[in-house]
Chains A and B, each alone.
Chain A
Amino acid sequence: MNFQFATAFAAASALAFTAAGPAAAQAPFADVGKQAEISILINSSPWFGGFEKAVDLYEKQTGNKVKLDVTPYGGMLEKARNAVRAANSPYDILNLDALWTIEFYEGSFLKPFAEIDQNFALPAEVLTFEDSNYWNAQRRWRTRDGGQLMGYSPNGNIHVLYYRDDLLKQAGLQPPKTWDDVGAICQKLKNPPGMYGFVTRGEKGNPIRYDWTPFLQGAGGSIVKAPQDGDYTVTINSPQAKQALDKFIELQKNCAPPNVGVIGQGDVIQLLATGRAAQGLAVIAAWPTFDDRQKSAVVGKINTAVVPGFPGRNPGVAIGNWVFTVPKNVSAERQRAAVAFSRWFLTAGAQRAYAEAGGIPVRSDTFASDLAAKPEFRWMKAYLDSQQFARQELGYAEGAQVEAVLGLRLNQALIGEMSSGRALNTAAREIEEIFQRSGRRTGKLDALPE
């Protein structure tokens, strides 16, 4: 991924420098001609407003029609499953959480883009988020190496650290680079219940698993040894993972509200937007809220930084992207229309318009353009800097079961029902059983002291 990212980034940067900002801004939109009406299943996330405006622009420019079925996150998976399992899908583009894509790729429910339009190729500037949009059926792994292009991301969610720029400046503090810095800033600025030092999600399930992952990756830990090579030895009970969990718990206990065990994404965004948290770890999709005068008490006061790390190590940045895919069970005409929309959406002009409307673009040259210098896009640098560290987790068929195990055991460690060692040992045992049942080559590390 690093190499692919570096290549894309270099190409984008070269383009940005030679074309000099404003010229890049005038990059043309794709001419896709007259196409059939398409329907998109999309989630009602904070970035949806930007996407909706981009779609409006597409309709105005091309005269083609796009129908959006906007659904809460909780209902997306079932709608997508029902769509691909039916005789004819009601949707021509399905937006899938990257975690769900394995089920759809392995089930052969989706049409590879090359089979719809052999001339379609992702622009080199488009971020692929560790190839989550490619599928190699032989290796059962998401990789462009021998894999087919199954889609692209309309949103590349990754974590960034949000912090109160004004408060840090007043206190003469620098933005944090390590988790120890986060703890030190928290100690200086916290004044509960009016001001908490640091917030992130601790809610059972996906929330805590996802928000703990940057700690795990940053400490050099992993869930499984080398799944890309078929080695499913469970490594979640390593000393590195314990260091990550202990630090996560320490920060939560010392800096977050007392109800850490049930804090969800809405709570994190609310605490930051109401000016009651000095720092917070959240996905980039949360950004549009903080500069929205209707929703935020801290307009212009929040800034972003790359997720902090452990001393001497690279930061860990967990990818939680979405993937736009085309189901097999729609007519060829509508599949072509879906790809035509995709061709338009991924052009530099559309991505710029998408960003200006509050979306999170996925082209590296949009981030390297003149937009990044504008105050309202001050998040772009941290986002782009983070990409080189961004990693996918749970890219295997058992991902949802592994997440359920981790989501519970981490939560129990956070609320004090288990020690961190016991929680990780328990999780390792349960995850190993999952891989044994599915016939993977597996094993686990020696137990940690409990």
Chain B
Amino acid sequence: MKDDFLNRTFRHWSMWPCLAFLLVLSVYPVLQLIPMALSTIQITAEGTFWTYSPRRNLDLLLGDAVLRDAVVNTLVFVVLSVAIEMVLGFFAALFIACMPRGRNFARTVMILPILLPAVAIGSMWKLMFNYDFGLFNQMVGLIGLNPINWLGDTRWALLSIVIVDVWHWTPFVFLILFASIETLPQDVLEAGRVDGATAWQMISLIILPLLGPALAVAALFRAIVAFKAFDQVYLLTSGGPGTSTELLSLHLNRVFFEQNQLGYGAMLSLSIIGVIVATLAVGKWSATQIERKRTGR
């Protein structure tokens, strides 16, 4: 009885440091954005001067033509890159898990791209995408096609940065799924084999459902990181040509830091946070409804 009380008390109080960190580092900055978003802010040596002007910032938000392109590009980038990474990461994990020998070596090689700094990746891929002497156009030339203007053509630029993101982050998905595949219950897999399931049936009816939680975690983490993608895109295209690779993170950086529009930048940030929270809430509600229908509860 005494031990239960101590355990409960410890559990209760041990939450507080964590909660305090969360409040200070996450909630407080977001709350701070609210007065900023309603103001025009001028920082001088004499102090910071706030002018209440919500209408001005709202007008800027509604009239921001580049923002509309940035939203569309970000959605396309996130959906495309995460979808490709999930498929490639899953099959890479499955393939390497089934290798009779050299699995550790293959796993080490696979995760190398995650370890490279973004600046190195940006420089390396910029060279590979080079119109005249880049690796890709040399390969394209070998099969008799004309060179492709990977980063300089609005039709190819977004796809090019998706390719770089897929190369960089597929190993992350691979790592999560590989670890999960390694811990799959062998008796269930064995039962499937004994029952004569084909390879596709093994994957679709046994492995994929068992990997459901790991797939969800990988997809969620990747979507969050892809949504915030900045450094590689900045290095490869700076959001251009035109607005073809302008992502929300780049646009926000331009407004906040290059143009020093703190009030409008805060309004933009709050709007993005609002949309994300709303999307997550709708997603969660939809998942709950589906689960209820499935289980009948």
CB–CB B239/A204 < 8 A = yes
* Interchain CA distance A78-B260 in the complex, whole Å: 10
CB–CB A417/B260 < 8 A = no
CB–CB B259/A262 < 8 A = no
B54 at interface by CB-CB < 8 Å: no
A271 to chain B, nearest CB (A): 9
B44 at interface by CB-CB < 8 Å: yes
* Interchain CA distance A85-B132 in the complex, whole Å: 46
Kindly state the interface size class of chain B when it binds its partner: 20 to 34
Q: Which of A107, A329, A417 contacts B44 (CB 8 A)?
A: A107
CB–CB B44/A108 < 8 A = yes
Give chain B's interface secondary structure class.
loop
CB–CB A404/B254 < 8 A = yes
- Residues 102-121 of A contacting B (Cβ, < 8 Å): 103, 106-109
CB–CB B154/A415 < 8 A = yes
Q: Which of A106, A204, A328, A329 contacts B240 (CB 8 A)?
A: A204
CB–CB B259/A203 < 8 A = no
CB–CB B257/A417 < 8 A = no
A204: chain B residues within 8 A (beta carbon) = 238-242
Q: With CB as the reference atom, state the residue of chain B lying closest to A329.
A: B45
Q: Which of B56, B242, B259 contacts A408 (CB 8 A)?
A: B242
Q: Which of A108, A193, A203, A260 contacts B45 (CB 8 A)?
A: A108
* Interchain CA distance A433-B59 in the complex, whole Å: 11
B46 at interface by CB-CB < 8 Å: yes
CB–CB B240/A85 < 8 A = no
A412 to chain B, nearest CB (A): 5
Q: Which of B44, B66, B242 contacts A261 (CB 8 A)?
A: B242
Q: Which of B42, B63, B131, B260 contacts A259 (CB 8 A)?
A: B131
A70 at interface by CB-CB < 8 Å: no
CB–CB A261/B240 < 8 A = yes
B63: chain A residues within 8 A (beta carbon) = 433
A261: chain B residues within 8 A (beta carbon) = 152, 240-242
B149 at interface by CB-CB < 8 Å: yes
CB-defined A-B contacts under 8 Å, sample of 24:
A77-B257, A77-B258, A103-B260, A107-B43, A107-B44, A108-B44, A204-B239, A204-B242, A205-B238, A205-B240, A257-B131, A259-B150, A259-B151, A259-B152, A259-B153, A261-B240, A400-B259, A400-B260, A411-B240, A411-B241, A412-B241, A412-B243, A415-B154, A417-B154
Please give the residue numbers on chain A whose beta carbons come within 8 Å of chain B beta carbons, in ascending order: 74, 77-78, 84-85, 103, 106-109, 193, 203-205, 257-264, 276, 328-329, 400-401, 404, 408, 411-412, 414-415, 417, 433, 437
**Contacts A204-B240, A262-B238 supplied; 9 other A-B pairs, CB < 8 Å:** A107-B45, A203-B240, A204-B239, A260-B152, A261-B240, A400-B259, A411-B242, A415-B154, A415-B241
**8 closest A-B pairs (Cβ-Cβ)?**
A259-B152, A261-B241, A204-B240, A107-B44, A108-B45, A193-B132, A415-B241, A262-B152
